[in-house]
Amino acid sequence: MSAFKTLLFATVFQVCSFSVSADELENITGTNELPVTLQTLLERSGRDNLIHLTQLGEMNQATLIQSGNENYAELLQVGLGNQADIAQLGERNQVELDQIGNDNQAAIIQVGDDNLVQLNQLGSANFSIEQVADNASISITQY
């Protein structure tokens, strides 16, 4: 069984799944937790941080933490058993991560300001990136 989830976090906390809000999900299931097939932990502090998460498949997992202002994370997981851990600590950091395939693993940590990570994992790959700087950028595609 495949499922499709889109989570969008902006100034106002909003969770959507086929136009079902977190409150509606709690009314339907008795809990506001995501299904086991799409496990996600999202934690934000600061102002104007944005997380855009799309998961399609089964057993995909994501942990995203943002602390600071104007950080942006866009994550696409398509397939089975993909895992992403993203931490952004600072201002105006940006992560664009696509995991397409099965069993991809990514760990991204950004500490500082104005950093950019673009990582595409197409197939089955593992990658870890630590940016501890200002104005740093990296772009990687793994097949």
Instruction: Give me 99's structure tokens.
Output: 């995991």
- Per-residue pLDDT tens over the stretch 30-66: 554 555 445 566 667 888 999 999 999 999 999 999 9
- Model confidence band, residue 10 (pLDDT cutoffs 50, 70, 90): very low
Determine how β-strand 38-45 pairs with β-strand 72-80: unpaired
Query: Which H or E run includes 123?
Result: strand 116-123
- Model confidence band, residue 27 (pLDDT cutoffs 50, 70, 90): low
Determine how β-strand 3-9 pairs with β-strand 50-58: antiparallel
pTM: 0.73
Residue 8 has pLDDT above 90, yes or no: no
Give the residue with greater pLDDT, 138 vs 28.
138
